[in-house]
Amino acid sequence: MPYFFFIIKFKAAIAYAVFSTLLLVSNQPVPVPLTPIVLHQPTLFLTPKEFFIAEIVDERPEKSTVAWVFPPVKTKQKPALQKVDLQGGGLNAIQNYMRQSMPRDKKLRPVLIRLKECKITETQTAPGRIEGKVAFSLSFDLKAGEEQTYLTDYRIDTKYTRPDNQLNIVEPVLRESINSALKYFNNWMNSQAEHNPKLAREVKVLFKDYSEKQEGDTIYYAANRPLKWDDFQEKPRNSKYGGAVFPSFGFEEQQEITNGVIKLQFSLKVYVPKSACWVKDNSRDDYTLNHEQRHFDIVEIVAKRFEQKIRSTKLPVNNFDGLINFEFYEFFREMNRLQEQYDTETQHGINSGQQAQWNRRIDQDLVALGVKNNS
């Protein structure tokens, strides 16, 4: 009987302790979970003249939350941070807001916006006072098919202070951060559109043959300036051949951008250094000189074909140099191939029949390319 009484008494003590704890907890105010922040209708309306927003991608490390804020309190209590997102999700809300702020004219340049950061954080600085910070960061790319070209970044950090019982200041600060980013980029595009190569709409090319007012060691190709024996200034080499020349080609490029058009001016250089030309004394005749001249002519033909290729190609504004360099090396290899073919078939000029055929072929090509007149 005493044992039974002890059990009953012990259970009563537990029940009393639980009841007391519940009573204490019920006297403490429990913060109400925050509802998602509603991003209100745009207060900024821009009509871009240079771009439209084609896509917005979310590159934030934390995609499910935009704010770590204190809920409003009505009694004296220690505030506790809560996580909250924008209504409809951060990316979706910001995307809708931006597209409502700016019409999408697809005749303009398509722009990809990368959402790098959208983060609201708060701390309690004094009883009843909350200090907050809105960090908003975007990166802007120009879209060109499946490729993107980086343009610029924008970041804004805004601080605010509010009473601990009011939360309505948070959304306007975030909204103004978005507005500031859109205004910045619109102004940036307006200021850059005419002279920034990344924003160019077209590439135009102009070729000219390079020449020097006073001839030095290098001879630049000209139809009225054929090779002569005085140009062969290198000492004769110990070779089975009577002479040799080493012509090549290259170009100088200057560019400017005006009204969104990249203008490329090429100075095409077909040249041979006198100091690399040599001939043996017993080979100084018109036949041998003609053979060496035809090496020079072949380079001119290849260079003009390179020019034709570049002129006829629609150069992409985002990688015109890459395409030009690719074509240059393709034609450079073609030059070496033709030189080897020429020497092989003519046996370095020994086969006069083949030499005559190559003479006709080269002359026909020079006429067709406008280098020489058909006479």
**What angle do helix axes 320-346 and 352-368 make, rounded to 10 degrees?**
150
What the block records as the tokens of 13 is 């003590």
278 beta partners: 244
- SS3 assignment, position 86: strand
Burial 55-82 (b: 16+ CB within 10 A, else e): ebeeebeeeebbbbbbbbbeeeeebeeb
Specify the domain boundaries for CATH 3.40.50 within the chain: 31-193
Beta bridge partner(s), residue 337:
none
d(CA 347, CA 252): 35
* pLDDT (0 to 100) of residue 375: 67
Give phi and psi for 164, each to the nearest 5: -75, -10
What is the distance, to the nearest Å, from the Cα of residue 241 to the centroid of all Cα atoms in its chain? 51
The residues with which 52 forms a beta bridge, in sequence order, are 110
Each residue of 79-112: pLDDT tens digit? Answer: 789 999 999 999 999 999 999 999 999 999 999 9
- Cβ pair 310, 328 in contact under 8 A: no
Predicted local distance difference test score (pLDDT) of residue 209: 87
Q: Which residues pair with 55 in a beta bridge?
A: 112
DSSP state of 283: G
The residue assigned the tokens 């000029």 is: 349
pLDDT of residue 31: 59
Contact present, 117 and 136 (Cβ < 8 Å): yes
pLDDT at 16: 39
DSSP code of 210?
Answer: -
Each residue of 318-367: pLDDT tens digit? 889 999 999 999 999 999 999 999 999 999 999 999 999 999 999 999 99
* Confidence at residue 77, expressed as pLDDT on a 0 to 100 scale: 65
What would the two tokens of residue 148 be? 């993107």
Cα separations in angstroms, 27 against 19, 22, 82, 226: 13, 9, 21, 106
Q: Give Cα separations from 217 to 214, 234, 236, 295 (angstroms).
A: 10, 11, 17, 18
Residues of the chain whose pLDDT is less than 50?
1-27
pTM to 2 decimal places: 0.72
Structure tokens at 67: 């704010």
Looking from the CA of 179 toward its CB, the CA atoms found within 13 Å total 14
DSSP line for 212-279: -SS--SEEEP-TT----GGG--SPPPS-SSSEE---EEEEEEEEEEETTEEEEEEEEEEEEEGGG-EE
Q: 31-193 architecture in CATH?
A: 3-Layer(aba) Sandwich (3.40)
Identify the pLDDT of residue 15: 38
Query: Which pair of tokens denotes residue 280?
Result: 């043996």
The residue type found at 176 is E
Say how far apart CA 298 and CA 365 lie, in whole Å.
Answer: 9
Name residues whose C-beta falls within 8 Å of residue 176's C-beta, 6 or more positions apart in sequence. Answer: 158
Q: Does residue 369 sit in helix, strand or coil?
A: coil
In the Cβ-directed half-sphere of 305, how many Cα atoms lie within 13 Å? 17
In this structure, what DSSP letter does residue 284 have? -
Which tokens hold the place of 42? 């745009």
Q: What's the CA gap between 88 and 37, in Å, rounded?
A: 9
Structural contact between residues 31 and 82, judged by C-beta atoms closer than 8 angstroms: yes
